Amino acid sequence: MSNEKEHQETDSSNCLLLTIKDRFDLYLHFRDKVLFFWNWYTVGMIAVVGWMLTTEKVFSWYLKVIISFVFLTFIGMNISGLIRSYELLSASRKDLLTSIRLTDEHEHELRYHLHKVIKKQCYKYNLLKFVYAIGVLAVLVIIFGKGLIYDAATCN
């Protein structure tokens, strides 16, 4: 009876272990989440910029503030999801690479490639912050500058 109980406990603990395939699937899932948030950022930026550039209506200062608040809320939610997805992607990559058992001669090569991947990921993360900042500033300039450009054009 006690052997059966020990066997069941061993089986249930083995069910909780992730295989390499499961870890790779998680890695791909988190990578897809990063791409999802980048796609939403792109669609949102194109929609706001397209709407602001194609409309001929000059918005009041109050409406510009509301549009900017809604846009910045969208950006804030999107970037928080994107940062979290990058963190999960990085953690799953590290988990995947550490779960692979290699010989000593291959470990040095793996560590070298892992260092390159992490350095590249840091570069992408810094690029992310730069692209977001430029995009947000560009949209805010378009939102608040539209009336100024229109007013300057009609004064001449």
Tell me the average pLDDT across 111-127. 68
This prediction's pTM: 0.65
CB 93 within 8 A of CB 29: no
Structure confidence by residue, pLDDT tens digits, 70-103: 999 998 999 889 889 888 888 888 887 777 666 5
Structure confidence by residue, pLDDT tens digits, 44-70: 889 988 888 888 888 888 888 898 899
Longest CA pairwise span in the chain (Å): 96
What pLDDT score was predicted for residue 74?
Answer: 92
Domain ranges of the chain: 19-155
Residue 8 has pLDDT above 80, yes or no: no
The C-alpha atoms of residue 90 and residue 31 are separated, in whole angstroms, by: 9
Average pLDDT of the residues of the chain? 76
What pLDDT score was predicted for residue 116?
Answer: 72
**62, 85, 84, 20: which is closest to 147 by C-alpha?**
62
Task: Give the percent of the chain with pLDDT over 90.
Answer: 6
Q: Which residue has the higher pLDDT, 14 or 109?
A: 109
What pLDDT score was predicted for residue 134?
Answer: 87
